[in-house]
Amino acid sequence: MSFLTPVWSYIDALVHPVGQQDALTAARHRAFIAPRLLASLFALASFPVYIAIRGVPTPSEVGLFSWFMAPILIVYYLSRTGHYERAHVFSLLSLTGLVVSIALCAGGTSAFAAIWLVVVPLDAAFSASRRVVTLAGVLAFSLGALLLMLGQTGATPEQHGTLAGLIITATLYSIGLALGAGLLMRTSFSLLHAEADRYRLLTNTMNDAIVRLGQHGSVLSISPAAELLIGVPVNELLGNGLFDRVHVVDRPIYLTALSDAARLNEERVLELRLRRGAQQFVWVEMRCRSGAGICGKQNHADCEIVAILSDISERKFRERAVEIAQSETEHVKAERSRFMATMGHELRTPLNAIIGFSELLTSEKLEPDSGRRFEYARLINDSGQHLLAVVDGILDVSKMDTGNFEISAELFAPAPVIEDCANLLALKAKEAGVELKLRLDQGLPEVTADRCAFNQIMINLISNAVKFTPSGGRVTVGARRDGPKLVMTIEDTGVGIGDVDLPRVGQAFFQARAARRHQDGSGLGLSIVKGLVHLHDGEFEIKSRLGEGTRVTVRLPFECQSSRRVSDPVKLAGRQNRGVVTAAFERMKKSA
């Protein structure tokens, strides 16, 4: 860092906000302020040294040093008001006043100071204003002519005509040079402003946001497209406003990319998330590169960085949709494979029993007694019933999955139906060593529902509870009224369900790992229950702890709709990502 850096920083701070609107105007203001302020301060600071060397100054010398206050006051005026042309007018008036004063005291046009009249129009040329240059030229020529006339009348010391003519001619020539320089500067400014307007029009019509960043990632300027992209006014993104909206996880790669772009002068491309509004985040692609080619500095790290932000939310949404679709496909394949293996086991076991015992009954070599014949026939019947139950379950799930399962509502008392279901499974519970209890509130009102579906719900739930409860355990079946709904609970002290498997319980063909270790099954029972409950506009809830037991709660309205159909009560694959996939494919159709 140069020792003059604080000086330039102070001069930059003196530039009025009007002059900071663009780099060109700011440079003009700095070019006006710096030489006048620094020269005046240096002259005033050297006045004590001058006194020490020369002794007591004369009145003219005091006046000369006092004049250096004028540039400081003019700089203060420009810094406070931003009126660039007026400041130039005041500057040329003070300069011509000084030149004429010295010339009058030192010999009119023959004085060396009179030659400074030539500088007045040239100094005004830096204002790039035709009016200021014209005023400076008229003023310098008029004062030169005034000095010449005063010399002719003897009001000033004698002068040489040749020198006076040269001064007048040089003044006229400097006026022409100043007008030409002013025209050239105005043309350059107009071309630069036209180029800036074209750049501004381009950035305003682009969907991508263009950002200029400083050395430490602070935003110097940003195009209006950022307001549409991020959803906040552009002025809120200046400074560290953009960095504050970068997702916390993405901030390290954001700063690394800016550092690499500035240090290596290479383009960096990254994808990050920017906060839009309060909580929503939008995916953007940022391409950033150092402005080393235009900043004129040898050290690339000291140059600005230009970045382009592009909205890639649609692309990210589609990529996520493809990932989810692939995951769903793999999940469906795995479910299908498991279903085939499960169904193969569920069908093969009873079929093997039917074939095996029927061969024994028809074998000529073996002649079982009547007792054994009855036992074989009973086993064949049980295997057939099991096979029929598996096929019926598959058909029920298929109907629910396609929306073709219908219910026929009728009025009946729920308590007797629940008691019948419990009595039906009482023998199975007794054989398994499981205690089966009923806790039904007295005076339960009648319910309008599909009686067969109601019966199947209770049988499936009680059967599952008994099946997965070890010997010595307990299954409690309860029913009560809760406002307009009938609440039924089936609670057991069985093997329970782990937290990982609990969200998937109720999906078709799914069995919790703890359940698979204890009992075989098709995994259709709870999925059928959930489908039937949804058909009645009911609610299904399951809570469980591994090794402690499970509590299933079913809430059914006392008045359910008759013959109601449901289009999507049970799906073979998970539902959690189905909406995302559907929405993504809808977007892809619209954009195609």
pLDDT at 168: 46
Residue 544 burial (10 A CB sphere; 0-12, 13-18, 19+): buried
Residue 279's pLDDT band, with cuts at 50, 70 and 90, is confident
Residue 169's pLDDT band, with cuts at 50, 70 and 90, is very low
Q: What is the mean pLDDT of the chain?
A: 75
pLDDT at 510: 57
pLDDT at 173: 40
**Same domain? 221 vs 305:** yes
**Same domain? 379 vs 439:** no
CATH of the domain at 338: 1.10.287.130
Provide the domain limits for residue 478: 406-564
Q: Where are the beta strands (DSSP E) in 262-356?
A: 268-276, 280-290, 305-311
**Same domain? 20 vs 147:** yes
Residue 523's pLDDT band, with cuts at 50, 70 and 90, is low
pLDDT at 69: 86
The more confidently predicted of residues 181 and 56 is 56
Asked whether the predicted pLDDT for residue 456 surpasses 50, the reply is yes
**Same domain? 65 vs 174:** yes
Domains contained in the chain, number:
4
CATH of the domain at 258: 3.30.450.20
CATH of the domain at 432: 3.30.565.10
pLDDT at 568: 43
pLDDT at 437: 92
- Which of 135-139, 181-185, 514-518 is least confident? 514-518
Residue 9 counted as domain residue: yes
Residue 583 counted as domain residue: no
Over residues 226-270, the pLDDT tens digits come to 888 888 888 888 888 889 999 999 999 998 888 888 888 888 899
**Same domain? 45 vs 193:** yes
Residue 11's pLDDT band, with cuts at 50, 70 and 90, is confident
Contact 468, 495 (CB under 8 A): yes
**Same domain? 560 vs 523:** yes
Q: What is the mean pLDDT of residues 57-73?
A: 79
Residue 429 counted as domain residue: yes
pLDDT at 26: 78
Asked whether the predicted pLDDT for residue 406 surpasses 80, the reply is no
**Same domain? 287 vs 328:** no
Residue 383's pLDDT band, with cuts at 50, 70 and 90, is confident
On whether the pTM is more than 0.75, the answer is no
pLDDT at 341: 72
Residue 436's pLDDT band, with cuts at 50, 70 and 90, is very high
Asked whether the predicted pLDDT for residue 445 surpasses 80, the reply is yes
Residue 550: both structure tokens together = 């499970």
**Same domain? 380 vs 264:** no
Angle between helix axes 5-14 and 23-54 (nearest 10 degrees) is: 120
- Which of 115-124, 391-400, 525-534 is least confident? 115-124
The more confidently predicted of residues 95 and 292 is 95
Residue 63 counted as domain residue: yes
Angle between helix axes 370-402 and 313-362 (nearest 10 degrees) is: 160
CA–CA gap between residue 113 and residue 92 (Å, rounded): 15
CA–CA gap between residue 191 and residue 205 (Å, rounded): 21
Asked whether the predicted pLDDT for residue 577 surpasses 50, the reply is no
Asked whether the predicted pLDDT for residue 480 surpasses 90, the reply is yes
pLDDT at 592: 41
For tokens 């009058």, the residue is 104
Bridge partner residues of 545 (DSSP): 549
**Same domain? 55 vs 145:** yes
Helix H or strand E encompassing 557: strand 549-557
Asked whether the predicted pLDDT for residue 157 surpasses 60, the reply is no
Enumerate helices (H) and strands (E) in the chain, giving the number of each.
19, 12
Residue 351 counted as domain residue: yes
Residue 212's pLDDT band, with cuts at 50, 70 and 90, is confident
Over residues 544-575, the pLDDT tens digits come to 888 888 899 999 998 876 444 444 444 433 44
**Same domain? 90 vs 19:** yes
pLDDT at 573: 37
Query: Which range among 156-165, 293-302, 406-415 has the greatest average pLDDT?
Result: 406-415
Residue 577 counted as domain residue: no
Asked whether the predicted pLDDT for residue 205 surpasses 70, the reply is no
Residue 533 counted as domain residue: yes
